[in-house]
Amino acid sequence: MTDTAALLNGQAGIDAANQVFAGLPGPARFASGVALIETAADEGAVSPVRSLLSFAHRLTELDGDTSHSAAIGAEIAGLVMAGGLGAAAAMADFSAAVTASQLSRSEALSGMIAASANGSLAIQLEAGIRLAQIITRGGGEGGEGGGGGGGSLSVNTVIQTIHNAVIGGSLAEA
């Protein structure tokens, strides 16, 4: 699975989700799909982020487990923290995935909060910048909360979600 174009545009993630959903029991699906994508990305020397995001979205469609977005956000933060990816590029891929309808805005919010909670200050800053872009430009389209790229996301929803993450202890106040 070292088709670099498919990895970079996210199609490899959709393919991986379809494959693991059809061939593995529930608990093994997520970890196996992530490993498959990351191995292929390492072999092709490309970023796995778009494919990881589209994988989480597609797997959620297939199994209904909405925790995949947060888990992928934490995984992406781990990749950035390990030095394999830049924070700016990784967070920019969230916007690109929303624009390509490979990730809903609420999934992006969940993933970015998880990445922020598990990552460095650089990840937190980049996540904030990209999240603001997703809200104000719709991930690439015009209009507040924008119409394309995976539903609407209001400023109030984002603020409340971040507040809840801080109060709940999954995101530090800083």
DSSP assignment string, 101-132 = TSS-HHHHHHHHHHHHHHS-HHHHHHHHHHHH
Residue 118, in any domain of the structure:
yes
Residue 116 lies in a domain: yes
Q: What angle do CA 113, 116, 118 make, to 5 degrees?
A: 110
86 has a pLDDT exceeding 70: yes
In a domain, 173, yes or no: no
Tens-digit pLDDT profile for residues 35-61: 999 999 999 899 999 999 999 999 999
Residue 172 lies in a domain: no
Largest CA distance in the chain: 42
Looking at residue 40, its pLDDT comes to: 93
Give the whole-angstrom CA distance, residue 59 versus residue 161. 23
Round to whole Å and give the CA distance between 65 and 2.
27
pLDDT the model gives residue 99: 87
pLDDT category of residue 143 using cuts at 50, 70 and 90: very low
Count the Cβ atoms, other than its own, within 10 Å of residue 121. 10
The 8 Å CB, 24+ separation contacts for 18-23 are 18/58, 18/62, 20/59, 21/59, 21/62, 21/63
pLDDT at 151 over 60: no
Q: Is the pLDDT of residue 145 over 80?
A: no
In a domain, 174, yes or no: no
The structural domain count of the chain equals 1
- Range(s) of the domain holding residue 15: 4-167
Looking at the chain, the number of H-run helices and the number of E-run strands are 9, 0
Domain assignment of residue 83, yes or no: yes
Residue 142 pLDDT: 36
